[in-house]
Structure 1
Amino acid sequence: MPKIIKSILTLICAFVPAMVILNLLGITLVTSFAMMEIIAMGIDVPNNVWLATISHDLIYLAPLYSIIFGVGLVISLIAADFASRFLPFNRYLIDVTAGIVSALTALTLMNNLLGVTPIGASRTIAGLLALSACSGLAALTFSFIRRKITS
């Protein structure tokens, strides 16, 4: 198998699980923050409604969430690959930092370009940090799988 095809397959095999992690954690987090806001208003939200809402969001929000955060993750991982050639830090640390920065950048750009915060969870520092951590975990997943495949 030609080297370029093997490299592309390696990247795909590492990126797909990273996107699954990103979507599962991020969307669950976004929905949970919204549910907590509803509960804070004094409305009772039964567990089955909470879980049904998460399931619904995982199905219908995943494409948009993947585009918003997936594109940012791809760009950040490319930048991390380039930066790792010049920085004396552990590659996992560089990739995780790139993932966190990609989420912060995506959320900041949306807030500035749209004039609103389209993802409710990012309206608080806790939500912003949690969404960024999800992206960081996705980047770590990518980095770990990529290294396991290539070693």
Structure 2
Amino acid sequence: MTEVTYYTQDGLDKLKEELQYLKTTGRQLISRAIAEARDKGDLSENAEYDAAKEAQGLHEAKIAKMEATLSTARLIDESKLDTSKVLALSIVKIKNVKNGATMSYQLVAESEADLKTGKISVKSPIAKGLLGKSVGDTTEIEVPAGKMEFEILEISR
């Protein structure tokens, strides 16, 4: 059974845009590289041709994976989400109980995750530990560095 992934409108648009690029421009670039390598002579000893064909296989595999992801993608209507609990697409402000540091994260689909912009995957250890919790709850989360305790300060969309 395939797993449904939830996206924001922006994330879903980016995924569709990248897939369109791969299917058009990306395929054209690879076919040109194959044609150029083919023009260089004997294919049995042509490393450029082999590399171009391998790149084509990887490119087509990436397209197939993105199409599979899109087929199970669901758009979340953020206006209808409950803000009393941490859910996918929630923006959560948390405080590290040990050192008092605060941080904010938005819980997004794995392909939308980008720590630089404060977006973490719902499959990450921190997100899994926060899901279903409410403001004021504290939760102990197992992270690669050990166990950390966080208090949920705020939940928004």
Normalising by the residue count of structure 1, what TM-score does the alignment of the two structures yield?
0.28
Higher RCO (C-alpha under 8 Å, 6+ residues apart): 1
More helix by share: 1
Q: Which has the larger radius of gyration?
A: 2
More strand by share: 2
